[in-house]
């Protein structure tokens, strides 16, 4: 007797077929990273790493994994970023948990971490203002075992995430997490060798120019600032000097067209030196400021 099978049912599909199936659906929606996204989401749905997924290409996918992948896939088709669906993102070679109150760490921000690591003196300390996932502070501490840090954020659920991330990378003993706006939770007169911050810096008027995917899934409070995107910088610059050691420095991530405005704001706050560093796209992305 012959059994005739026209189409594979969803409960008898192989890992390879399921991956291709979602890749095509993503590609039809103009998602540029269709192949990568299908692979990452299927790995997560199945609890496999990429090598394991390849070795299972011809194996049948258990129905509960098909169902979970269908949920992940539907969210991606609605343009939710993969990092939001998985609740995790890679930054500086480490994996960070993200939640609704944190930005997804961006590759540009790694430039700020590079400079922070170079500037910090042996045994020094730093403060990270608006830490979010904690990606900047935790990456610095992970690279430099001699350093300790303070990180603040106004969103307490962001601080919870930062605490989890610090613990999972083994730096929690060297990182104090404080709830409050910028320097508010820091005692007057407490000084640091380095201040770092990637604050919200997008002007409300720039909303339309932004990548729609990121915009609708990142928290507004992490993205937008008043005064044409300058409000956070101005607030931090106003008191930064009182929290810096005599040779201390301030590092900001800035928007790709903000260098001139930032230099003006820093000079009006009495800064004597402002240097910019370019990202891989050639934009001034990090400002180094000192008094």
Binding site for ligand GLN (CB under 6 A): 103, 105, 109, 130-133, 135-136, 198-200, 222
d(CA 197, CA 286): 10
Contacts of 73 (CB under 8 A, 6+ apart): 22, 25, 26, 38, 41
Q: Does residue 10 sit in helix, strand or coil?
A: helix
- Measured from the CB of residue 201, what is the shortest distance to ligand GLN in angstroms? 8
Helices (H), the chain: 15-28, 34-46, 50-55, 63-77, 82-86, 110-119, 135-143, 156-168, 212-217, 220-223, 231-240, 259-268
Q: Which is nearer to ligand GLN, 10 or 154 (CB)?
A: 154
CA distance 116 to 250: 9
Helix (H) or strand (E) holding 253: strand 244-253
Q: Which is nearer to ligand GLN, 199 or 229 (CB)?
A: 199
Closer residue to ligand GLN, CB minimum distance, 70 or 221: 221
Min separation Cβ 227 and ligand GLN, Å: 16
Q: By C-beta, is 77 or 231 nearer to ligand GLN?
A: 231
Q: Which two tokens stand for residue 159?
A: 């601080």
DSSP one-letter code for 224: B
Q: How far is the CB of 119 from ligand GLN (least distance, A)?
A: 17
Nearer to ligand GLN, 37 or 153 (CB): 153
The span from the CA of 43 to the CA of 50, in Å, is: 6
**Cα–Cα distance for residue pair 142/93, rounded to 1 Å:** 10
List beta partners, residue 189.
none
103 vs 286, beta carbon nearer ligand GLN:
103
Question: Shortest gap between Cβ of 25 and ligand GLN (angstroms)?
Answer: 30
**Quick one: 131 or 261, whose CB is closer to ligand GLN?**
131
Residue 196 C-beta: closest distance to ligand GLN, Å: 8
Q: Which helix (H) or strand (E) holds 277?
A: strand 273-278
- CB-nearest residue to ligand GLN: 132
Q: In angstroms, what is the minimal distance from the CB of 222 to ligand GLN?
A: 3
Q: What CA–CA distance (Å, rounded) separates 130 from 222?
A: 8
Closest distance of CB 206 from ligand GLN, Å: 15
């Amino acid at each position: 007797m012959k059994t005739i099978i026209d189409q594979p049912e969803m409960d008898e599909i192989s890992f390879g077929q399921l991956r291709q199936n979602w890749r095509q659906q993503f590609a039809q929606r103009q998602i540029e990273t269709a192949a990568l996204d299908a692979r990452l989401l299927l790995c997560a749905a199945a609890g496999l790493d990429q090598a394991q997924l390849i070795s299972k290409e011809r194996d049948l996918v258990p129905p509960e994994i098909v169902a979970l992948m269908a949920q992940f896939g539907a969210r991606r088709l609605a343009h939710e970023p993969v990092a939001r669906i998985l609740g995790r993102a890679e930054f500086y070679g480490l994996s960070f948990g993200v939640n609704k109150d944190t930005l997804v760490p961006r590759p540009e921000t790694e430039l700020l971490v590079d400079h922070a690591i170079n500037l910090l003196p042996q045994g020094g300390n730093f403060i990270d203002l608006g830490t979010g996932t904690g990606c900047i502070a935790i990456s610095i501490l992970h690279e430099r075992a001699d350093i300790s840090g303070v990180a603040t954020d106004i969103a307490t659920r962001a601080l919870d995430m930062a605490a989890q991330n610090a613990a999972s990378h083994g730096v929690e003993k060297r990182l104090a997490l404080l709830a409050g706006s910028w320097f508010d939770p820091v005692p007057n007169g407490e000084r640091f060798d380095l201040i770092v911050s990637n604050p919200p810096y997008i002007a409300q008027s720039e909303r339309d120019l932004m990548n729609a995917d990121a915009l609708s899934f990142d928290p507004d409070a992490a993205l937008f600032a008043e005064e044409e995107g300058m409000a956070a910088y101005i607030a931090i610059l106003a008191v930064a000097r009182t929290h810096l050691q005599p040779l201390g420095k301030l590092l900001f991530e800035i928007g790709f067209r903000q260098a001139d405005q930032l230099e003006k704001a820093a000079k009006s706050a009495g800064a004597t030196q402002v240097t910019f560093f370019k990202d891989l796209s050639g934009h001034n992305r990090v400002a180094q400021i000192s008094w």
